[in-house]
Amino acid sequence: MAGVNAQGLLQIAMNVKDIDRAVAFYRDVLGLPFLFQAGNLAFFDLNGVRLMLDIPEDGRFDHPGSPLYFRVADIQAGHAALVAKGVTIEGAGPHIVHRDASMELWMTFFNDGEGNLHALASEVPLKM
């Protein structure tokens, strides 16, 4: 029996309560490239993977979404930009969550205003 042969991730769904407020956050605060909106659905481009914001109509899908970890080159600058735009930061701000011989993994967590927790993440190479 052959496998499914999935070729990658096409789309991620993120539940929201207010589509206009959510579009403004993901477009204007996070700076994600906005693709289009169709009623209570809005789509963004995450480097070839679509992010779909959705007001769920079916109760089976009505729950907070899985955290999204947005890659940034400079975690301190990304954190400062979120704070400047009034985003609710969870915890103490940017911190190291993992270190190995080649890099440090930094994260800072934030709320999107729709009940979803997300993070900025930065892999910082160690100088050898």
CA distance 29 to 112: 9
Contact indicator for 117, 65 with CB cutoff of 8 Å: no
Per-residue pLDDT, 40: 93
Per-residue pLDDT, 1: 61
The hierarchical CATH code for the domain 1-57 is 3.10.180.10
Per-residue pLDDT, 7: 79
Per-residue pLDDT, 60: 83
Contacts of 106 (CB under 8 A, 6+ apart): 75, 94, 95, 96, 97, 121, 122, 123, 124
The hierarchical CATH code for the domain 66-128 is 3.10.180.10
CA distance 14 to 3: 28
Report domain extents, the chain. Answer: 1-57, 66-128
Mean pLDDT by groups of 10 residues along the chain of 128 residues:
78 94 97 96 96 90 87 95 95 94 95 93 89
CA distance 60 to 42: 20
CA distance 61 to 104: 35
Per-residue pLDDT, 74: 94
Look up the pTM and report it. Answer: 0.87
